[in-house]
Structure 1
Amino acid sequence: MPEAAHWPCAAVGAARKGRLVRIIDLSALPSREIDDFGSAGFRIAGVGHLRQAQIALLTLAPGGSVGRHPAVGDQLLVPLRGSATVSGSDDAPAPLLGGAAVLWTDGEEHETRAAQEGLVALVVEGVLDPAPGLRSTVDEVGRESSEAGN
């Protein structure tokens, strides 16, 4: 069985190839506070880039929020700790709990409000080609959004 190693953020790039599982301490990532769009208690830390995508760590203080704004590219929000209420183009609030994720499409207005325990989540932004199991959900949401706009 491979040996596990815990790496601070800065050490990841210097990790040697081998039989180690590299566990990244996400709390060590440099972050910055965001107050755009009326956001409050919101910090973001870059995690890396994929081709045509970026990954970030979002941190919302208890009761904090990411104000309503349009998505720049497709955006997937995956909670790691805590929970939130999210909304999309219809402005209808929906709970976001562990074991689920929310997907907003390019240009879709959306908002996130952390619950009392706060929220730590991964955000993946870019061009999403949904996996087969997700395609029907994405199509359904897209169809509902376009029908609502008619």
Structure 2
Amino acid sequence: MRRVRLSPREITAFGSRGVSMVAPARVLEPVSGFAVHLATFAAGAVVGRHETRLWQLFAVVSGEGWAAGADGVRVPLAAGDAVLWEPGELHESGSDAGMVAVVVESPAAPVPDEG
């Protein structure tokens, strides 16, 4: 086992506020566009509306918040919920009380296990 330090960075693009992200893992032989991020939302945080470049799976680990897709309708999310955005889809997310989510970006559709 090797202990590593994860260094979060604040997200400010697209009018975002109160969100920090860390990339907890990367591969030595990268797949172009593939990334995994841990997003921590403070109370009142928002990632502003923008287009996703690739497939993006947004899975809530703790807390609660919301996500919206192309239609702009905010869907409530809690721990165990996930949404999947298609490449080029306008989207945004946020939390009134605080939330932690894992974000997987991929050139191929990451298929969530729906039980």
TM-score normalised by the chain length of structure 1:
0.66
Unmatched 5+ residue regions in structure 2?
none
**Structure 1 residue runs of 4 or more that deviate by more than 6 Å after TM superposition:** none
- The aligned counterpart of 1:143 is none
Q: For structure 1, which runs of at least 5 residues remain unmatched after alignment?
A: 11-27, 135-150
Give aligned-pair identity as a percent. 36
What number of residue pairs does the alignment pair up?
A: 110
CA contact under 8 A between 1:73 and 1:125: conserved in structure 2? yes
Alignment of 1:1-150 (within 5 A): 8=3, 10=4, 28-49=5-26, 51-52=31-32, 53-116=34-97, 118-129=98-109, 131=111
Q: Which has the higher contact order (CA 8 A, sep 6+)?
A: 2
CA distance in structure 2 between the aligned counterparts of 1:58 and 1:112, rounded to whole angstroms:
11
How does the TM-score come out when normalised to structure 2?
0.84
The structure whose residues are more often strand, as a share, is 2
- Residue aligned with 1:46, SS: strand
Give the aligned CA root-mean-square deviation in angstroms: 2.0
Cα distance in 2 for residues equivalent to 1:133 and 1:101: 10
Task: Say which structure is richer in helix.
Answer: 1
Which has the larger Rg? 1
